[in-house]
Amino acid sequence: PIGTFRKFLTLRGEGDDNLQSMLVGTVMRKIKSRSWKKQRYFKLQEDCTTIWYKSKKAGNTHSTCKTTRLTDFSVSDVEAIREGHQSEVLLSIADEFPADRCFTLVFRGRRGNLDLVAESVEEAQSWIRGMKKLIENLENMGEREKLDQWIGDLFKKADKNKDGRMNFKEVRDLLKMMNVDMNEHHAHRLFTMADKSQSGTLEDDEFVLFYKMLTQREDLLKVFQDYSADGQKLSQSDLEDFLKEEQLEEDDFQQKAKQLIEHYEPSDTAKLLNAMTFDGFLMYLGSSEGSIFNPRRRGVFQDMSQPLCHYFISSSHNTYLMEDQLRGQSSVEGYIRALNRGCRCVEVDCWDGANGEPIVYHGHTFTSKILFKDVVSAVGKYAFKVSEYPVILSIENHCSIEQQRVMAQHLNHILGDKLLKTTLDGKVGLPSPEDLKGKILLKAKKIGGLEESFNGMVEDSLTGEASDEDEKTKQHLSKELSDCVVYCKSVHFSSFKHSRIHSKFYEVTSFTESKARKHLRDAAAEFVHHNSRQLTRVYPSGFRTDSSNFNPQEMWNAGCQIVALNFQTAGEGMDMNDGLFSQNGHCGYVLKPVFMREAAKRFDPEMPQNQDGYQPVILTIQVISGQQLPKVNIKEDSIVDPLVRVEIHGVPIDQAKQETRYIENNGFNPVWYDTLRFTVHTPELAMVRFVVEDYDKTSKNDFVGQYTLPLSCMQQGYRHIHLLSKDGTTIPPSSLFVHIRITKLDKPSSLS
């Protein structure tokens, strides 16, 4: 029932002093800068899922009245709490407020942090511990409880007069909020059926009943009844048939069916009969086991002991920028956010700063500046919070010899043992992510090669020369900084032929997206071969001053490992990146397909059918229905006209997109039953992106939600797709319900 979560939390709250103190409310200072520090009243709402804070704004000079402005946010929007001076803003006022009264709320997606100072250490601790408790409770919620919470939030919004019951007018407004366009007669009939007490209003359980009638899943009921012998329940043997014939589960079906009943069946009576009711079936298909993403591929499942160049590596471009490339703010927060998203290669543009301290910013632009040492501190602190595998610091060095020495001092002093300074014992060639766990590698120019460094041949000179990556100019380097570079020496690229004969395994080349595209056009197979032996970095064109991204897929098709994107910019590029790296434990490393790792294979993304072991597949997706799609237009009476587009991203011949028809005025439970079919020639590289849009015949469709994943991570059968926002954050309980089939295609002698 709807109140379960709240009652559970309120009960918890009753015995929890921290939550009690949050429910009473606290005055704290909200800090935006050294000069902007204002008092606000913060209070946890009774639902224990929303926090609001208010400020008093003075009226005009002739008026004595003050207006109160209320702002609120949901606990589920908060990703983490940082204690003490752990943001640039709080560090800037460290001399004024002690660390034990300061904390930062970090929000999901790309929303700015909330920096707070409490009046006392006790109050700060109350909020820190209380928020952690609330977040932990939310993380432990199942799909059903999340749905209850969503219904409760809607109830609260629609209950305009706050009397805890809902009259028919409030219910009609609620339906609009929920994206439901229902004729008044039908809505009134459901309302009357649910109003058991005949009071003309719906209270707790009556509202739940109304919601259940509203959300009856006919699409799922049909599947359930197809497999149920008596139409009432699935016996264990019925469920085994479903798992075998529809879901194509590879496990022991008997064991799997038992486990699903045990885990998802709410009725104890059904459990005793080893059976699953429709409610249990709903719970199973709404869970992670019923989702499109294969749970076996969630954790680290790949071989992590191959050379670094055999992996795609999650990588960020101009990591310090929070906005555009010309005037945007530079911030240490950019590094923290990227690393917390599993990024394993971050970029640092270094320039001479005042007082002998190197600074980081986008040179020759109006972007703000931050200290190099602050960046190194943040990287040292956050590098291994979400992944233990190595982080590469890609340095663009514009500093004088003197400040390069300061850079080397900071790297050594701040990172200590985390900084890789010597080659690994007994290793010939590039080490693996496994070998380099917990290590930070510097990618930069270097005097001489690894061989000279460790044979003592550069010992006497304090400075040396190195060629620039992009031009053939010489740059003076300090020996101290050069010595910090081991396995990632930045070099200029001449040609694939030159590299094949002369290049060393530890040399890394960098290309702009346009240069990389030219190499792909002129010599795709050579490019793949080059990347089977050494690392390549590709970064966005300098013309992308708005920090937009290219689609990384075309670079992955060539086996480029370090495809650097603007992490601060939401959209297709980052959806693809998040999708590829959502597998393998979100660790930031994904093993390339075998035909891209073995130099002898000569894979050509332009001609995949010539590949040894070439096995095309047919991907059939039946888009069945959608559930509780978010509103995109804030106008109260506008309702979504949803359509679903499925995009295949992969080698050029696999690039394709198809759409369902649009359903008029129904974002709540649209039903399509539209079937889309794709031929995929290189499934190992294919990514599948589901995009839901609000159809508009006069202008561009509005984005509603998306979900992107590798084809190799898809589960077959009846599956739910839990949609993500433009920012890549979850938007429960929005989902699509689909049926997936992947079948091998008889190999044609040539491609049509």
Binding residue numbers: 30-57, 318, 347, 349, 396, 443, 445, 510, 537, 639, 641, 665, 694-696
Cβ-Cβ contacts under 8 Å for 528 (sequence gap 6 or more): 558, 559, 596, 602, 603, 604, 605
Cα dist from 592 to 9, 402, 616, 746, whole Å = 45, 41, 18, 25
Indicate if 85 belongs to the active site. no
3-state secondary structure of 193: helix
Give the C-alpha separation, 101 to 84, whole Å.
7
- Kindly state the DSSP code that residue 93 receives in the 8-state scheme: T
Strand ranges (E), 45-198: 50-58, 66-74, 78-83, 102-107, 114-118
CA distance 121 to 128: 10
Q: Which two tokens mark 244? A: 């075998």
Q: Using DSSP, how many helices (H) and how many strands (E) does the chain show?
A: 23, 30
- The radius of gyration computed from the CA coordinates of the chain, to the nearest angstrom, equals 29
Place of tokens 């053939």: 472
User: Please, how many CA atoms are within 13 Å of residue 300, restricted to the half-sphere of its CB?
Assistant: 13
444: which strand partners?
489
Q: What's the rounded Cα separation, in Å, for the pair 103 and 649?
A: 42
Mention every residue, 6+ apart, whose C-beta is less than 8 A from residue 435: 305, 424, 427
HSE, CB side, 13 Å, CA atoms: give it for residue 662: 16
Set 62, 188, 310, 317: catalytic member: 317
Q: Are strands 717-724 and 671-680 parallel, antiparallel or unpaired?
A: unpaired
279 three-state secondary structure: helix
378: Cα within 13 Å, side-chain hemisphere: 27
Backbone angles phi, psi at 155, to 5 degrees: -55, -45
Q: How far apart are CA 339 and CA 332, in angstroms?
A: 11
3-state DSSP assignment of residue 216: coil
Q: Alpha-carbon distance 360 to 432, whole Å?
A: 30
Pairing relationship of beta strands 78-83 and 671-680 according to DSSP bridges: unpaired
Q: Which amino acid is at 265?
A: E
362 is catalytic: yes
Binding residues for substrate: 30-57, 443, 445, 510, 537
SS3 (DSSP) at 99: helix
Annotated binding residues for Ca(2+): 318, 347, 349, 396, 639, 641, 665, 694-696
- Helix (H, G, I), strand (E, B), or coil: what is residue 68? strand
Q: Which long-range contacts (CB under 8 A, 24 or more apart) does 201-204 make?
A: 201/165, 201/166, 201/167, 202/165, 202/166, 202/171, 203/164, 203/165, 203/166, 204/1, 204/2, 204/3
State the DSSP code for 289.
Answer: G
Peptide bond into 683 cis (omega under 30): no
Distances in whole angstroms, Cα of residue 530 to Cα of each of 158, 268, 513, 515: 60, 60, 17, 15
Taken as a whole, the chain contains a residue count of: 752
Alpha-carbon gap, residue 182 to 189, rounded angstroms? 11
Q: Which of 85, 362, 720, 722 is catalytic?
A: 362
Catalytic residue annotation: 317, 362
